Structure 1
Amino acid sequence: MSRALHSPTGKQRRTREAAILTSLAVLIVVIFIVSMNTGLMRLSPLDVLHTVLGEGTQQQKLILFDFRLPRIVISLLVGAGFAVSGCILQSLSRNALAEPSTLGINAGAGFAVIIFISFVPATSAAPIFVLPLLALAGASLTAALIYFLSFRREDGLSPTRMILIGIAVGAGIYAFQLILSLRLDPQNYQFVAIWMAGKIWGGDWRFVLALTPWIAILLPFAFYKARVLNVLNLGDQTSAGLGMPVEKERILLLAAAVALSGSCVAVSGGIGFVGLIAPHLARRLVGPKHQVLLPACALIGALLLLTADTIGRWILQPAEIPTGIVVALIGAPYFLYLLAKSKA
């Protein structure tokens, strides 16, 4: 009797989760199509269809395949990467306010990239593929510093202390970025200023190729570790009691989150709040089970960033609003709402 009562509920839940994930994927396809039609040079849906089928003009092929599609793909990859990174950090810290931006990890990744761009022109293919590695190094050093400063032997890793230290470290790194940018020539200064505002500057297929391996490896790894995140959410003592090597798994997952955010920063600039908003929306839709939560986060993050990038390219044509500013207009009020609700 009990099994008969519970089985339909589980089946209904799985059906609902599948319907939500499918709906998110359909929304991404819709915004994808809208984004292909959005820009200074207007392409109608029929023009896009003809161009995809190889019947468009040379100008239409140039606009669609060389300018818009690479940026759209990067928006999807970066949105998914930031969202899953934020979900992992929130689960590890058990703090609803944790994400790569608020913890200062994005700032560390960006600082390494800005140093490189300031002294080495990223005009050849080799530097473009080096940028994710540099961002990873900057993000890793920042994450290690925050972890070291937040950890206390008597009470372990305090979520509140980690958030406050992350904000302080991020502010300090941002100040160094400003100091460094003041020493640049006008052309590089303009580029760095736009990059820090969160413009998706990697607008060709080389950047897609540079970012794709990181996302293709790290996202499946995060999904594979979903059960580990479920156990870690029970607390360190309970997790250890169940036989899990808590510190080893925490470091592996933290490394994955840092690598995801660092590689995304390398091609997207200082975009924040995606890793904050997406996990919260995903939890409201599918619940806390990470086997479903992580894929939902990836889809919501991709949808959010692609929508923000499309709005930024459309709303003030022919001018363009950096994607990071559009996301911040959405994320800042939500961050304040979460901060007001936080008991920490």
Structure 2
Amino acid sequence: MIKQLQPARYQKMILVVFTVVILITMVLALSVGSSSVSYDRLIPTLLGQGTFVDEFVLFSIRLPRMLVTLLAGMALALSGCVLQGVTRNELADPGIIGINAGAGLGVTVFFLFAPLEVGTFVYILPIVAFLGALITAIFIYLFSYNRVEGMQPMKFIITGVGFSLALSGVMIVLISSVDRVKVDFISRWLAGNVWGTDWPFVIALLPWLIILTPFILYKCRSLNLLALNEGTAIGAGVPIQKDRILLMLAAVALAASAVSVTGGIAFIGLMAPHIARALVGPRHQLFVPVAILIGGWLLLVADTIGRNLSDPDGLPAGIVVALIGAPYFLYLLLKK
């Protein structure tokens, strides 16, 4: 009984540690950059006793941006956990296998051809991105499915990479004939520049996580069995096709909602589950909650580093993440 409790206790300790690390990172992020709030003014400002400038910087600039990156990182990490479990492939990531590119194409078409400004449709953007990502995911699944062997994990990854490159090319073709302002926005989106930095974007992201996180945590037992093999899952009474479709839909929705406001960011969904598994083991009940916090922290750190690394606009968070994630992906690819 004590042995059974030890992993859960260790997981709780890791969760507490990463929660504290995230809070420390947020405090540090507030104090760096051209617009910052000093440490001694932070608590009074949070309590409504700060100056107008401090309150504006904290509540209108820094806090919504940090919450957007934190929530988006959590969504991408959770999406990666599900994709890796469903496909039985630890290289799966919504950015690598084309899900993000599908969402990006949806956002690009919407941005270029919608009659009004994008800001008017803040709450529709995640839905548009979801539709683009869903259509992409369906095609990737169909191309990697075999009637005899079912879905082939490595073929799923290779097909997804192909779709990602193809859809990125389509986006470049689309923006080649539009005005410069729109080209600038799409190019920054492709680089993973966090552009949704206001409170409406936080509100647009939050419901997806509130609804889908409990569902995925509830389905962790099914993910454990799906990650083994189909025979084991069927023997345990898991409705494979139903659970696989529902979990894939949840993963696509989470990734789409995240990239619709942060741009094309890859590798968070790859790295966070791997780090979490290394810390608490392969059971989804244990490592998924840890991966959620790690994903949020990774993107928060990447955005903080990126916006302070160069002037005037900083370096997109997607590039900072890629500088770490791409070598890690190659290492895992060679290892597998």
Q: Give the TM-score normalised by the residue count of structure 2.
A: 0.97
Please point out which of 56, 64, 68 is paired with 1:70.
64
Match of 1:4 in 2: none
Separation in 1 of the partners of 2:173 and 2:119? 28
**Gap change, CA 1:326 and 1:88, over 3 Å in 2:** same
- Structure 1 position 195 matched with structure 2 position 192: no
- Structure 1 position 255 matched with structure 2 position 249: yes
Separation in 1 of the partners of 2:220 and 2:7? 18
Match of 2:275 in 1: 281
Match of 1:100 in 2: 94
- Structure 1 position 39 matched with structure 2 position 66: no
**Gap change, CA 1:121 and 1:195, over 3 Å in 2:** farther
**Which sections of structure 2, spanning at least 5 residues, go unmatched?**
none
- Structure 1 position 264 matched with structure 2 position 258: yes
How far off its partner does 1:292 sit?
1.5
How far off its partner does 1:314 sit?
1.7
Aligned CA-pair RMSD: 1.3
**Which sections of structure 1, spanning at least 5 residues, go unmatched?**
1-6
- Indicate the SS of the match to 1:213: helix
- Structure 1 position 174 matched with structure 2 position 196: no
**Gap change, CA 1:121 and 1:309, over 3 Å in 2:** farther
Please point out which of 104, 114, 133 is paired with 2:108.
114
Separation in 2 of the partners of 1:126 and 1:224? 35
Q: May I ask how many residue pairs the two structures share in their alignment?
A: 336
Match of 2:236 in 1: 242
* The 10-residue stretch of structure 1 (141-150 or 114-123) with the greater mean CA deviation from structure 2: 114-123
Letter in 2 for 1:202: G
* The 10-residue stretch of structure 1 (137-146 or 90-99) with the greater mean CA deviation from structure 2: 90-99
How far off its partner does 1:271 sit?
0.5
- Structure 1 position 322 matched with structure 2 position 316: yes
- Indicate the SS of the match to 1:215: helix
Separation in 2 of the partners of 1:63 and 1:43? 7
Match of 1:303 in 2: 297
- Indicate the SS of the match to 1:96: coil
**Gap change, CA 1:270 and 1:21, over 3 Å in 2:** same
Letter in 1 for 2:102: G
Letter in 2 for 1:8: I
How far off its partner does 1:125 sit?
5.7
How far off its partner does 1:316 sit?
2.1
Separation in 2 of the partners of 1:159 and 1:125? 38
- Structure 1 position 216 matched with structure 2 position 204: no
How far off its partner does 1:239 sit?
0.9
Q: Deviations over 1:128-153 (max 9, x none)?
A: 11100000000000000000111010
- Structure 1 position 144 matched with structure 2 position 138: yes
- Structure 1 position 25 matched with structure 2 position 16: no
How far off its partner does 1:124 sit?
6.6
Separation in 2 of the partners of 1:91 and 1:31? 30
Separation in 2 of the partners of 1:230 and 1:97? 17
8 Å Cα contact 2:192/2:317 also seen in 1: yes
Q: Deviations over 1:270-296 (max 9, x none)?
A: 000000000000000011111111101
Separation in 1 of the partners of 2:312 and 2:169? 32
Q: Deviations over 1:146-192 (max 9, x none)?
A: 00111010111101111111111111000001111111201111111
Q: Deviations over 1:19-64 (max 9, x none)?
A: 1111111101110111122221232111222211212121211111
